[in-house]
Amino acid sequence: MLENDKPTAGKKRLDAAEYAADLSGRDFDCVYMDSTQSLSHSFLNGSSFKNSAFLGAPVDQTELAEAHIIDCLFADTDFTGSSFIGAVVQGTIFRKCIFADGEWRKSRFINVIFQNCDFHYTTVNLCVFENCEFDGDGPKKLDSRSVNYNVFMQCHFDVSYEDDVVLASNFGLPTQGERKSLTNYGSNTSLEEICIKSSSSRVVASELVSAIENEFNRTGSHRLRILRLEFISNIVAALTRAKRISPTSLTYLEVFFSNLGRSATSEADALAAMSVVIAIRSLLFNVMQDSSNNEEFANCLCQALTIRYERTYTRTDSLELAKMLGELTTGDANTFVVSKFAHGSTLIELVAVQIVSVGAVLTALNFVLRQLNTTLVRAHQVHKSASKLLGASSKAAPQKRKKRNASRVTALQRSGGFSKEASLLRQTVEVHGYQVVILDDEAETTVHYVSSK
């Protein structure tokens, strides 16, 4: 983020700045504006500003559609009546800025700080805020019915919000205490319920997926179906980037939205559902690329696993989890057996009864439990069944494989063959269905291993 002590150091004055300027599509790097200049009533559509400073210069009644603003500083800037539509703002500070009467739509703000900014009568729809800070009392004005279908992920606020309708139509806006439910007693979980819960506590993957299924399994057509599909897509994407939803749950949702698109009665609904499918496939591509990089443990063999959930699960759930991990590591559901199970904050211990590499186990754990904290412990004693397997054949020890660069285009189009990991993932979800979503929860895991060398 831009340094604050000498914001104009090393930068050139933006001489192109003037009233009603048309700077659409132009790229600017290391420029500055001061209070003697103006971009009022200007067109900055598709413009890019990087490492730049705007110090008191008005940018009111200005269009910033599709603009990219990276590592910039805006101090005492008047954005009254300006629009951020489809914009990307990252690593930027807005200090004492006025956003009154503005329109923000389908924009993404990442690592952005809003210090004592005025949001009076600002319309904010379908925006995503990740790791942002809202300092001072100005953001209190976001407690408005014109602010809806936005996602606030891992953001800090100096204020909290009280309007139940606003909280129910935004994901992650903070509130104090418990809020009243907007769903009648006995009704299925709704998307509004999930938004309300996100204001004061962490949403579990199974709750979100259940709400999504309820949302689109209703009879009749929802007049905001396309808008809500995009909102849901933004929630899923933000949770994935925050490592709070697993690839198994994403794959389950991919299948759900694929079926939704095929059953749609209008072209608009079908295209909206398929856009969610493409977004999920892109997320899966990123997550699987990150999860599969375990080559340093290629010559280590898993002896046992310990999994601790905060929530309560049944012994049947533990058996299901053992099968899922076996299918994802070796393709065999009988790779692990449950050696210990305890209720409460659930404790599950699994023993490997077949040869399986630690790298494969780590990948499988990241596929099943995205909210994960894993500890690796070198085992001093090998379980009898595992010992026999280890001594049976040194040739069975896994070998390092050269990492191939996967194609994102193939992943999105689903043309050609699946990778081995993707195939196992899809097969596991097909076999276990909604159970993969139920087991996708915050957990601490310990992997006990021995060296195969």
Distance from C-alpha of 242 to C-alpha of 371, rounded to nearest angstrom: 9
pLDDT of residue 186: 41
311 & 272 share domain: no
387 belongs to a structural domain: yes
* Residue 227 within a domain: yes
pLDDT at 225: 83
Task: Please check whether residues 313 and 441 belong to one and the same domain.
Answer: yes
- 247 and 343 inside one domain: no
Decide if 166 is inside a domain.
no
Residue ending a domain, choose from 234, 262, 291: 291
- Write down the pLDDT at residue 447: 94
**Looking at the domain assignment, is residue 173 inside a domain?**
no
Both 284 and 375 in one domain: the answer is: no
Does residue 400 lie within any of the structural domains? Answer: no
Same domain, 264 and 301: no
* Overall domain count for the chain: 3
Residue 438, domain extent:
296-393+407-451
pLDDT by 10-residue block (mean), the chain, 453 residues: 74 96 97 96 97 97 98 97 97 97 97 97 97 96 95 96 94 81 58 93 92 82 79 96 93 95 89 95 86 68 94 94 95 96 92 93 90 81 42 41 51 56 89 96 93 71
What's the rounded Cα separation, in Å, for the pair 281 and 445?
27
pLDDT for residue 440: 95
Q: Do 278 and 313 fall into the same domain?
A: no
pLDDT for 287 equals 85
Task: Looking at the structure, tell me whether residues 287 and 309 fall in a common domain.
Answer: no
Residue 87 in any domain: the answer is yes
**Same domain membership, residue 301 and residue 256:** no
pLDDT of residue 387: 40
Same domain, 221 and 136: no
**Nearest Cα to Cα of residue 432 among 249, 204, 309:** 249
Domain end: 291, 322, 349, which one? 291
Q: Which of 291, 317, 337 is the last residue of a domain?
A: 291
Query: Position of tokens 């375990």?
Result: 294
Residues 132 and 221 in one domain: no
Residue 174 belongs to a domain: no
Answer yes or no: do 134 and 218 share one domain: no
SS3 annotation, the chain: CCCCCCCCCCCEECCCCCCCCECCCCEEECEEECCCCCCCCCECCCCEEECCEEECCCCCCCECCCCEEECCEEECCECCCCEEECCEEECCEEECCECCCCEEECCEEECCEEECCECCCCEEECCEEECCEEECCHHHHHCCCCEECEEEECCEECCCCCCHHHHHCEECCCCCCCCCCCCCCCCCCCHHHHHHHHCCCCCCHHHHHHHHHHHHHCCCCCCCHHHHHHHHHHHHHHHHHCCCCCHHHHHHHHHHHHHHHHHCCCHHHHHHHHHHHHHHHHHHHHHHHHHCCCHHHCCEEEEEEEEEECCCCCHHHHHHHHHHHHHHHCCCCCCEEEEEEECCCCEEEEEECCCCEHHHHHHHHHHHCCCEEEEEEECCCCCHHHHHHHHHCHHHCCCCCCCCCCCHHHHHHCCCCCCHHHHHHHHHHHHHCCHHHHCCCCEEEEEEEEECC
| Residue-level pLDDT at 294 | 58
Q: Are residues 370 and 446 in the same domain?
A: yes
Q: Is residue 211 part of a domain?
A: yes
The CATH number assigned to the domain holding 91 equals 2.160.20.80
